[in-house]
A and B are shown apart, each in its own frame.
Chain A
Amino acid sequence: GAVVSQHPSRVICKSGTSVKIECRSLDFQATTMFWYRQFPKQSLMLMATSNEGSKATYEQGVEKDKFLINHASLTLSTLTVTSAHPEDSSFYICSARWTGTEKLFFGSGTQLSVL
């Protein structure tokens, strides 16, 4: 089956620093990638949709200058949390699909803890 690799799986950083999370599609070309965040005991919240080579589309209430998304190639999307603060601590999950499939394939998630 299709594999989406997400790194790192866990990151701890100091307040004010930036953190980059990578999402790679290992065996397919991802025309669309999605980024979600999830707080403990809550559901996934869609943050943004990114299509290769174009700017990401952010959901209402998500700060695009704080959560920078780059989808420069068909196999890689990155989410950079800029100037992270404790309230940004969350579980971040990416997902991807290729043209011709209706399914989404998810990465294993990144647990971000900001001290």
Chain B
Amino acid sequence: DAKTTQPPSMDCAEGRAANLPCNHSTISGNEYVYWYRQIHSQGPQYIIHGLKNNETNEMASLIITEDRKSSTLILPHATLRDTAVYYCIVRVNTGGFKTIFGAGTRLFVKA
């Protein structure tokens, strides 16, 4: 699976949009981009995933560049409860579905 690069930490003001970048320059054509988050001392939570097109759900939006070498997770109105470590993962959707976590970005939402 392709490796990803994320900033180690970011701050965001409560109520503002949080934009979390991820570089995956070696992504293959059949690899999807997944985002999970982990709130302190809990198991990770699925947020969103996509292949080429931008995606939106009730939690977030995922913007994938046309060359697919990078993506951005957008939390439109961050709240204090969004403080967590956010993991960007690239993975194929076949085979064993093995999911390897990188270091992630620690997002601090401040009042």
Contact = CB atoms under 8 A, between A and B. Distances in A.
Given A34-B98, A43-B102, A43-B103, A105 B46 contact: yes
Interface stretch (B10-18, B19-27, B36-44, B70-78): B36-44
A102 B97 contact: yes
Contacts of A44: 38, 44, 101
B100 interface: yes
A108 interface: yes
Contacts, number: 55
Interface residues of B, number: 23
A46 B38 CA distance: 15
Nearest to B46: A103
A102 B42 contact: no
Contact of A32 (B32, B97, B100): B97
Contacts of A34: 98-99
Size range of the chain A interface in the assembly: 20 to 34
A34 B87 CA distance: 17
27 contacts: A32-B96, A36-B101, A43-B85, A43-B101, A43-B103, A43-B104, A44-B38, A44-B44, A45-B101, A46-B100, A49-B98, A91-B41, A93-B43, A94-B43, A95-B43, A97-B97, A102-B34, A102-B49, A102-B93, A102-B97, A103-B46, A103-B49, A104-B46, A104-B97, A106-B45, A109-B41, A109-B43
Interface of B: 32, 34, 36, 38, 41-46, 49, 85, 87, 93, 96-104
